[in-house]
Amino acid sequence: MIDTHKSWQTMNLSAIYQRLAWLQEQPDGVVFCKDSGAHYVAVRKDKSLVKLSLVEKVNLHTDLLQSVLELNNPLHLVSEYTQAMLLGLIWQNQPQRIYIAGFGGGRIPLVLHHYLPETVIECADVDPIAIEAATQCFGVQLGDRLTVAIQDGREYLEQQSSDIQYDIIMTDVFCGNGYSPHRLATKEFYQLCQKRLSGEGVVLVNLLQRDEFYAEKVKTFQSVFSQVCVSPWKDINSVLIGSNSPSLEKSEIVGRAKYLQDGYEFSFSLIDRALDIRVGSELAEIIPNLDKAQVLHDDSPPVGYFDCWLF
């Protein structure tokens, strides 16, 4: 089935290059900058790389990198954590509907939209300026199969009809200081995700390992999903993968990644990301104090947690 979409993908890739052609002609430097609340949303071109960042108004030297695009290969996911988010296809290789909380430069949605021409991808993000930057500078074109609601990511999911189910749910949302919002890290939120999942559905969450409540967030995730895997990237990000479908052995995860890599011919190695995955007892080995961590709940954020109400 993967091969049947090759001609459509060729035309779609050509259209992406056309939308990015104006950037190829621009000199290096800032190509987009607009005010967005406590930040400026800035897009800078550096040779063949296009980078979207949040720049704090109170400290213009602060540069919170959100998305990176390779102009000469727009389907290449530069950041390894974004590559790891595609591991959800191991559990659902032909998803009908995907929901993504957090949009940024739209890198993951654009790649999924290209490789899965029959899949509906719904996104939610509170920052309309970032969405504007994505459509102007990152080759994203919104339409019937790729939509973005300017809305709280949890609120959007809560408001969907009970008969709408997603095969893959992703959350990639951060406040200005780099921490994920409390309301997207609690047991109640993950129970909502579970409620909105199809029977064999999978949830993926991007976390920062330097988060003070990293272990608590993993423990909370474990409290809802029967199989939890972690794909760590150096000492920076970790992608949590959760499902209540029958558990997969590591060898089966890698085998399915090889099948997907052969079929889609990603410019990055999904196999390497699958080999990075830690399962079962391995989680306690790579996550300090996991056994002592407490489950997070809506009504009791831990003392000191940065609760960013904007999300």
Domain ranges within the chain, ordered by starting residue:
2-17+75-292
What are the pLDDT digits (tens) for 103-123? 999 999 999 999 999 999 999
**What pLDDT is stored for residue 11 in this prediction?**
92
**What pLDDT is stored for residue 176 in this prediction?**
57
**What pLDDT is stored for residue 175 in this prediction?**
66
Confidence class of residue 64 from pLDDT cuts 50, 70 and 90? confident
3-state secondary structure of 184: helix
Confidence class of residue 4 from pLDDT cuts 50, 70 and 90? low
Q: Which CATH number fits domain 2-17+75-292: 3.40.50.150, 3.40.50.970, 3.55.50.30, 3.30.980.10?
A: 3.40.50.150
Mean pLDDT of 270-295: 95
**What pLDDT is stored for residue 65 in this prediction?**
87
Per-chain mean pLDDT for the chain: 92
Mean pLDDT of 69-73: 98
| Vertex 206 angle, CA 203 and 207, to 5° | 125
Partner residues linked to 240 by β-bridges: 205, 230
Among 28-32, 57-61, 129-133, 238-242, the least confident range? 57-61
Taking the alpha carbons of 124, 127, 130, 135 in that order, is the dihedral positive or negative?
A: positive
Question: In this structure, what token pair is assigned to residue 152?
Answer: 């709280």
What are the pLDDT digits (tens) for 203-232? 999 999 988 899 999 999 999 999 999 999
Q: With 80 as the cut, is the pLDDT of residue 294 above it?
A: yes
Confidence class of residue 303 from pLDDT cuts 50, 70 and 90? confident
